[in-house]
Amino acid sequence: MKRIAIIGGDGTGPEVVAEALKCLKAVADKVGFAYETENFDWGGDRYLKTGEVLPEDAAETLRKFDSILLGAIGHPDVKPGILEKGILLNLRFALDQYINLRPVILYEGVETPLAGKGPKDIDFVVVRENTEGLYVGTGGFMKKDTPDEVAVQESVNTRKGVERCIRFAFELARKRNKMNKVTLCGKTNVLTFAWDLWERTFHEVGASQYPEIERDYAHVDATCMWMVKNPEWFDVIVTDNMFGDIITDLGAVIQGGMGIAAGGNLNPEGVSMFEPIGGSAPKYTGLGKINPMASILSVQMMLDQFGETKGAKLLENACIKVISKKMKSMGAGKMGMTTSEVGDSVVEQIEIL
């Protein structure tokens, strides 16, 4: 019996999670997957009411679960940063979810802004380091609020953190067995400390343990260019936290938008957390316009991580049917169906597949 913690969060988060859970139930019934869920009301509303971002024992509580499904974090009445850092980043760090896995797949029938590119060209995965880099929150001010003010924000990269991330990327390329290629996305020409460590680790690990996997390198700026011009060159991209954050928004756009982009914050040895990569989209709250597909696909990633390969495949196939045959667009309010109709259609496909 798997225990799954549910954090609907803010804005449209709870709505998309509701659809994802509908689909999870349908898959579980079909393949005999046993699970139970427990809800947590963490997010902006609770913070505004109680003044507490997260209960003190939040990470401790979550460690007792097998996985976490998250909707979205970000509330219009709360200053940007408080909830993002206090909930999302806090949990990623506390649970040592050191990989942020973000597949970039253009499904059949989905519109991409890239002219002349189709599903066969856009199918890669970004492995984003998720617990280090510029996200650690070290640094500080000097002479704050004076004309001589200094602000320092440090990027922390450890051999251990870099190595486990790179190793994960090589393992993934091997498992995909598609182009057998890992591209390191960095900035070796300017950030000569951090990316020296990354580059050395990349070649050491690759040459000694993954000789059959091609090692490729691209600067982060060039990566953005290639993702638009030649996305078919990529198989697995591995990068640090900040660059990974940036390039995966670009990735989401070329695969059809935030409505369809799913991700997983993984601790392969611990508790992982799955979420749509888009935000809480507060202006759409309660209107039935938001696309739940990213949340549904994050459940597919969760099933995959549980080793429920059959259920994961079934869910993905059901999503593909709905995406390519039923939905008009991936954009909020343009789907040609409501949020819950998308969930219902996926359930319908699960039942007939």
Select from 1, 207, 232 the least CA-distant residue to 114. 232
Select from 252, 293, 244, 312 the least CA-distant residue to 67. 312
Exactly one of 21, 134, 165, 277 binds ligand IPM (CB under 6 A); that residue is 277
Q: Which amino acid is at 109?
A: G
Exactly one of 15, 123, 235, 245 binds ligand IPM (CB under 6 A); that residue is 245
Is residue 294 involved in binding ligand IPM (CB under 6 A)?
A: no
| Whole-number Å distance between alpha carbons of 128 and 265 | 9
Is residue 54 involved in binding ligand IPM (CB under 6 A)?
A: no
| Whole-number Å distance between alpha carbons of 176 and 194 | 28
- Using the minimum distance from each CB to ligand IPM, give the nearer residue, 91 or 347: 91
Q: Give the position of tokens 């979550």.
A: 62
Q: Which stretch binds ligand IPM (CB under 6 A): 81-89, 173-181, 186-194, 318-326?
A: 81-89
- Using the minimum distance from each CB to ligand IPM, give the nearer residue, 251 or 311: 251
Exactly one of 15, 245, 275, 308 binds Mn ion (CB under 5 A); that residue is 245
Shortest distance, position 126 Cβ to ligand IPM, whole Å: 11
Q: Which stretch binds ligand IPM (CB under 6 A): 83-91, 137-145, 157-165, 254-262?
A: 83-91
- Using the minimum distance from each CB to ligand IPM, give the nearer residue, 104 or 346: 104
Partner from Mn ion, ligand IPM, none binding residue 227, C-beta < 5-8 Å depending on class: none
Could you tell me if 112 and 255 are in contact, meaning their C-beta atoms sit under 8 angstroms apart? yes
CA dihedral sign, ordered 39, 40, 41, 44 = negative
Which residues neighbour 273 within 8 Å (Cβ) at sequence distance 6 or greater?
67, 68, 69, 70, 91, 92, 95, 97, 264, 265
- Using the minimum distance from each CB to ligand IPM, give the nearer residue, 198 or 243: 243
Interface positions, 317-346, toward ligand IPM (CB under 6 A): none
Partner from Mn ion, ligand IPM, none binding residue 301, C-beta < 5-8 Å depending on class: none
| Whole-number Å distance between alpha carbons of 297 and 320 | 10
Q: In what order do the strands lie in the sheet with 2-9?
A: 35-40, 2-9, 67-72, 272-276, 262-266, 99-105, 123-129, 236-239, 181-186, 214-219
Is residue 58 involved in binding ligand IPM (CB under 6 A)?
A: no
Partner from Mn ion, ligand IPM, none binding residue 89, C-beta < 5-8 Å depending on class: ligand IPM
Calculate Rg over the CA atoms of the chain.
20
Q: Which residues bind ligand IPM (CB under 6 A)?
A: 84, 88-89, 245, 277
